[in-house]
Amino acid sequence: MSSLRTLVFFATPAHSCSYLPDRDATTMFVDPRARVDKRLYSQLTALGFRRSGSHYYRPHCEHCNACVPVRLDTRAFRPDRSQRRVWKRNQDVTFRLVPARFSERYYQLYAHYINERHADGDMYPPSRDQFQSFLVEGATDSWFLEITLDDELIGLAVVDVLDDGLSAIYTIFHPDYDDRSLGTLAILWQVQEARERGLPWVYLGYWISESRKMNYKTRFRPIEALLDGTWQAFDPNTRDR
């Protein structure tokens, strides 16, 4: 089994940034041949890495530090008025946590979501192979949170269990239920689940001040950011842009 001391890292050539279209990006990733268990995955996450399928990566851009890893303190979190409304509005939905796997039912929701919400992104057009490689492969204590309404699957959140928290990998939802704020609902559920497991953190990935798609992450407080190699309390309003 690999360890932090034995891992080999690679960097990609510069490529167009997925979030800031006027910039180039470089990504550092773990050697795909490495055997990453839950302990090592947890250590990598604490260092700002994320998982995409079998790949563990983090931004490594020479002249840009816009991507800020953030995590939510589950012990101190208190939902604001808007988040309480989301929870109350969705009292009629059902949650079920199941092992991460491919199913046609999941894929159809995923394809509909990508086609309707991300047709301008690098995941368009969707495919079954893409779903498998992005959300199923490389699973290490990885789960799908099914969100159903009257037996209809309206949301699906990919959740990894770490030694010190949950990692919110990705959430998809049926665009017809946009008014239910299912992305926010999925994070609220993960906070509750982490508390029940005695885990202090929900890792939310990267926050980018110039990306409107990332704004929802800092609506959850208190939040910490990995800055200069240290996790510290974070106020996005004071972040230099």
Position 117 scores a pLDDT of 87
pLDDT at position 241 over 50: no
In a domain, 138, yes or no: yes
In a domain, 14, yes or no: yes
SS3 state of residue 172: strand
Q: CATH number of the domain that 119 lies in?
A: 3.40.630.30
Same structural domain for residues 40 and 109?
Answer: no
**What is the pLDDT of the chain when averaged over all its residues?**
94
pLDDT digits (tens, 9 = 90+) for 90-110: 999 999 999 999 999 999 999
Position 18 scores a pLDDT of 84
Same structural domain for residues 25 and 137?
Answer: no
Query: Per-residue pLDDT averaged across 156-167, rounded?
Result: 98
Split into its structural domains, the chain has a count of 2
Q: What single-letter amino acid sits at 35?
A: R
Same structural domain for residues 77 and 99?
Answer: yes
* Last-in-domain residue among 48, 66, 84: 66
In a domain, 17, yes or no: yes
* Last-in-domain residue among 66, 82, 107: 66
- Sorting pLDDT into bands at 50, 70 and 90, what band is 124? confident
CA distance 160 to 202: 10
In a domain, 2, yes or no: no
Same structural domain for residues 61 and 82?
Answer: no
Tokens of 151: 């037996």
SS3 state of residue 144: strand
pLDDT at position 231 over 50: yes
pLDDT digits (tens, 9 = 90+) for 175-217: 999 999 999 999 999 999 999 999 999 999 999 988 877 888 9
pLDDT at position 122 over 80: no
Which residues, 6 or more positions from 222, have their beta carbon under 8 angstroms from its beta carbon?
A: 72, 73, 76, 77, 233
Beta partners for residue 153, in sequence order: 148
Q: For the chain, give the longest Cα–Cα distance.
A: 50
Pairing type for strands 165-173 and 201-207 reads parallel
In 3D space, the residue among 139, 131, 164 whose CA is nearest the CA of residue 36 turns out to be 139
Q: What is the pTM assigned to this prediction? A: 0.95
Same structural domain for residues 56 and 135?
Answer: no
In a domain, 231, yes or no: yes
- Sorting pLDDT into bands at 50, 70 and 90, what band is 36? very high
CA distance 53 to 229: 25
pLDDT at position 137 over 60: yes
Same structural domain for residues 75 and 194?
Answer: yes
Residues 144-181: b if buried by 16+ CB within 10 A, e if exposed: bbbbebeeebbbbbbbbbbeebbbbbebbbbeebeebb
Query: Per-residue pLDDT averaged across 230-237, rounded?
Result: 90
Residue 42: domain span: 9-66
DSSP H or E stretch at residue 165 = strand 165-173
Position 105 scores a pLDDT of 98
Residues 11-22: b if buried by 16+ CB within 10 A, e if exposed: eeeeeebeebee
CA distances from 105 to 44, 112, 146, 148, 225 (A): 32, 11, 11, 12, 36
- Min mean pLDDT across 15-19, 166-170, 210-214, 230-234 is at 210-214
Same structural domain for residues 46 and 89?
Answer: no
Percent of the chain with pLDDT over 70: 99
